Amino acid sequence: MKVITRIPPSPTGNLHIGTARTALFNYLFAKKNGGKIILRSEDTDRERSKKEFEENIIESLNWLGIGYDEFQRQSERGEIYKKYIEKLLKDGSVYEAEEGVIRFKNPNTRIKFTDVVRGDIEFDTSDLENFVIAKNVSEPLYHLAVVVDDHESGITHIIRGEDHISNTPRQILIQEAIGATRPIYAHAPLILAPDRSKLSKRHGATAVIDYQAKGYLPEAMINYLALLGWNPGTDQEIFTMEELIKQFDLNKIQKGGAIFDEKKLAWVNKEHIKRLSPEVQKGMQIKTLKEEHYIKNRPDLDVEKMSWKNFSKEDTKKCLEEVNKLIPDTDAIMKYAERVGKGNVLWPLRYALSGEEKSPDPFTLIAVLGKDESISRVKKAIEIL
Ligand code: GLU
């Protein structure tokens, strides 16, 4: 059996952390098994679905490195759903209700399915009553569309968030009515905020694109997302995509809620940065540095913070005058600093450039600020000394 999984986001918002985590699980499982993965834009809700969100979802998945073999858009599949709805109407599994909507004739039975994560789950379907599956033959609702698509695409495994468990019995009833094979279900735990409430905007950024903008590496993002509800059962915490594919195991998805902890994500990011080449690291440092307020705006300098330890203001001033003739020549500045005392030269130089007690070394600052701006900043320091 060839494994076929799916990523079925609704384009009603930017790609959410939770959807990205579930997409990743589907990707890892398909790749591990040499299977196929389908991205399906579930845009049947015409009012809330937006093109820009669909674009964001595609871009975010690309950025994360979560590829797919096929793309579908539900709004383009109306004929397919119609065919199924008409067939169901004909065989009496569904009926047109007085309100005009199409309802499923609930057989009022017990549905039992085995979830890979949660074991046996049983539902009494009578609670669901004769639920609506379409507004009319041309306007299917979520449950009908999703079951038809999964069946038509030969989806073998449905890996999704546990908020969909309660949808499963309706979907199984529809599957049985259209004669579809039941896929294997795995419902992953919800992603929670550190206070164990449902992760939402009030806890910070919830869209993948926000983390991209904050300077996180995609490698770090997928590593951290993979750990939200899954771990290989070893001490390993840092993984590449290849390692994740190799080690991913549906049976190791946890039941308990997964806590999204931005501090942990930052740590994972740092670990991935360490693995990059020094040149790439430097490039990244410069990119994030450009966003610092003391790079964008000239700092206010405190004359009392200008000198290193007991070095006098007069001597500090002389050093800066000398150094200002050497900028941006790192070697010349270093040679001079070694003669006069590294701290005596490099501290005031760094402070003159950033106005911060803590900042990257002066050579990095000069590289970001450029020669002219660096010289101007040092001049200003000299003036107040
Ligand atoms: N479109 C649904 C969502 O965005 C997913 C449906 C499914 O996984 O079956 O939550």
Tens-digit pLDDT profile for residues 98-117: 999 999 999 999 999 999 99
Name the band, by pLDDT with cuts 50, 70 and 90, for residue 214.
Answer: confident
Report the pLDDT averaged over residues 307-319. 96
Q: What spacing in Å lies between the alpha carbon of 87 and ligand 1's midpoint? A: 25
**What atom of ligand 1 comes closest to residue 167's alpha carbon?**
9
pLDDT band at 2 (very low <50, low <70, confident <90, very high): very high
* Whether residue 141 has its Cβ less than 6 Å from ligand 1: no
* C-alpha to C-alpha distance for 164 and 288, rounded to whole angstroms: 39
State the Cα–Cα distance between residues 229 and 189, nearest whole angstrom: 6
User: pLDDT value at position 205?
Assistant: 83
CA-6 nearest atom, ligand 1? 8
CB of 165 closer than 6 angstroms to any ligand 1 atom: no
Share of the chain above pLDDT 70, in %: 100
Between helices 313-326 and 330-340, what is the axis angle to 10°?
A: 150
384, amino acid identity: I
Q: Which residues, in sequence order, are CB contacts of 146 under 8 Å at separation 6+?
A: 8, 42, 171
Reference 169, options 182, 154, 188, 150; nearest CA is 182
pLDDT at residue 257 is higher than 90: no
- Cβ–Cβ < 8 Å for 35, 187: no
pLDDT of residue 284: 83
pLDDT mean over 168-180 = 98
**Which residue, among 191, 136, 199, 120, has the nearest Cα to 162 in the 3D structure?**
191
Residue nearest to atom 4 of ligand 1 (CA): 9
> In the structure, what pLDDT confidence band is assigned to residue 301 with cuts at 50, 70 and 90?
very high
> What pLDDT score was predicted for residue 10?
96
Q: What is the mean pLDDT of residues 188-215?
A: 89
For atom 10 of ligand 1, the residue with the nearest CA is 9
Alpha helices in the chain, H assignment, sequence order: 17-32, 51-64, 78-91, 142-152, 168-178, 208-213, 218-226, 241-247, 262-274, 278-289, 293-296, 313-326, 330-340, 342-354, 362-369, 371-384
Amino acid identity, position 94: V
CA 47 to chain centre: 25
Quick one: which of 288, 293, 231 has its CA closest to 258? 231
Confidence of residue 291 (pLDDT cuts 50, 70, 90): confident
Long-range contacts of 268-272 (CB under 8 A, 24+ apart): 268/220, 268/223, 268/224, 268/237, 268/238, 269/216, 269/217, 269/220, 269/224, 271/220, 271/237, 271/238, 272/217, 272/219, 272/220, 272/223, 272/238
Cα 136 to Cα 82: distance, rounded to the nearest angstrom: 9
Residue with CA closest to ligand 1 atom 7: 8
Residue with CA closest to ligand 1 atom 5: 8
Residue 10 CA to ligand 1 center (angstroms) comes to 7
For 192-200, what is the mean pLDDT?
A: 88
Query: What is the arrangement of strands in the sheet containing 184-188, beginning at the earlier edge strand?
Result: 119-124, 110-115, 184-188, 157-161
Q: Which of 17, 49, 160, 182 to mutate to test the pocket of ligand 1 (most atoms within 8 A of CB)?
A: 160
**Enclosing H/E stretch for 39:** strand 36-41
pLDDT at residue 287 in the model: 83
Query: Do residues 17 and 57 lie in contact, with contact meaning Cβ atoms separated by under 8 Å?
Result: no
| C-beta atoms surrounding 258 within 10 Å | 21
Phi, psi of 215 (to 5 degrees): 95, 15
Q: Is the CB of 11 under 6 A from ligand 1?
A: no
- Report whether residue 182 contacts ligand 1, using a CB cutoff of 6 Å: no
Q: What is the mean pLDDT of the chain?
A: 96
Banded model confidence at residue 142, pLDDT cuts 50, 70, 90: very high
- Which range, of 13-17, 74-78, 234-238, 286-290, averages the lowest pLDDT? 286-290
Q: Average pLDDT for residues 178-205, to the nearest whole number?
A: 91
204: pLDDT confidence band, cut at 50, 70 and 90?
confident
Residue nearest ligand 1's atom 8 by CA: 160
How far apart are the CA of 339 and the centre of ligand 1, in A? 67
* Cα Rg, the chain, nearest whole Å: 29
**Any ligand 1 atom below 6 A from CB of 241:** no
Q: Is pLDDT at 203 greater than 90 in this prediction?
A: no
Residues of the chain with pLDDT > 90, as a percent, come to 91
DSSP 3-state of 114:
strand
Q: What pTM was estimated for this model as a whole? A: 0.82
Say what the pLDDT of residue 177 is.
Answer: 98
pLDDT, greater one: 287 or 172: 172
Substitution candidate for ligand 1 out of 41, 146, 165 with most atoms within 8 A of CB: 146
CA of 8 relative to ligand 1 center, distance in Å: 5
**Distance between CA atoms of 149 and 324, rounded to whole angstroms?**
68
| 215 has pLDDT over 90 | no
Other residues' Cβ atoms within 10 Å of the Cβ of residue 27: 27
Confidence grade of residue 225 (pLDDT, cut at 50, 70, 90): very high
**Ligand 1 pocket member 103 (CB < 6 A):** no
What's the rounded mean pLDDT across residues 117-127?
Answer: 96
Report the run of H or E that residue 276 belongs to, with start and end: none
pLDDT of residue 149: 98
CB 9 less than 6 A from any atom of ligand 1: yes
Q: Residue 281: which pLDDT band, with cuts at 50, 70 and 90?
A: confident
Closest C-alpha to ligand 1, atom 3:
9
Please report the domains of the chain, with CATH numbers, ordered by start residue.
Answer: 4-191 (3.40.50.620), 192-277 (1.10.1160.10), 293-384 (1.10.10.350)
Q: How far is the CA of 171 from the centre of ligand 1 (A)?
A: 12
Residues 6+ apart with CB under 8 A from 141: 44, 132, 133, 134, 135
State how beta strands 258-259 and 191-192 pair.
parallel
Counting from 1 in the atom list of ligand 1, the atom nearest the Cα of 9 is 4
- Would you say residue 56 has pLDDT above 90? yes
